[in-house]
Amino acid sequence: MGGIGMTVVNSSLNPPAPARGVDVFVAAVPLTATKGAPQLLMSTAYSFSLSWDLQHFMVITSSADLPSQVMVSDFQPQDPESIYAALAAISGRKIPGVLQMRMMKKLPKTKCWKVGSCKVDVVDAIHKFNSNWDTDLIIGRHDCRHYTNGLVECLTGEKYVLDRLRTSRTSIA
């Protein structure tokens, strides 16, 4: 099943059997930028859907047992509004990243897509995934997109979910 140092999230020898699955979503929000012109430019581009790449992606899970709360998991720079983060993004250098898990009251109404469901203990699966995630962030090579693709694959089995969403772009309303 797995060698030393490997994590098996969904073992066929001892599968978890929750009563209900947990829905898995991907959401996109505008990238944060340093205040002033960069922030205005990014917000404008996001508003007009000018670039899929000017968005921050995150994974959201929602249980039928607790519909009033959803859990958000994402990966971003430790200080996303720092000028150093912006310079590192432009130059392709690595910067310190942070993994976040937090609760929200409800799903976003736009730019949020249901991508599947998870039959294992979601919190445990996310913790296991995060424990193996390198937190050195490199824009375009190891960033929120890679984290989202990886975590969705871990939870649902679907690979490269952002590629599929980029071509379909059907948002829930």
Give pLDDT tens digits for 66-105: 767 899 999 999 988 787 877 877 788 999 999 999 999 9
pLDDT in tens, 96-151: 999 999 999 999 998 999 999 998 999 999 999 999 999 999 988 999 999 999 99
Position 5 in a domain? no
For residue 133, give the nearest of 149, 116, 157, 114 by alpha carbon: 149
Q: Are 99 and 117 in contact (CB under 8 A)?
A: no
User: 72 with 107: CB under 8 angstroms?
Assistant: no
Residue 2 covered by a domain: no
Asked if residue 151 is part of any domain, the answer here is yes
Q: Per the domain annotation, does 9 fall within a domain?
A: no
pLDDT for res 87 = 80
pTM: 0.77
pLDDT attached to residue 10: 34
Is residue 154 domain-resident? Answer: yes
127 lies in which domain range? Answer: 22-168
Q: Which residue did the predictor score with more confidence, 169 or 37? A: 169
Q: How far apart are CA 24 and CA 114, in angstroms?
A: 6
Q: How many domains does the chain have?
A: 1
pLDDT for res 53? 67
Tell me: pLDDT of 9 over 50: no
Which whole number is the average pLDDT over 41-48? 53
Asked if residue 82 belongs to a domain, the reply is: yes
Question: Residue 7 domain-assigned?
Answer: no
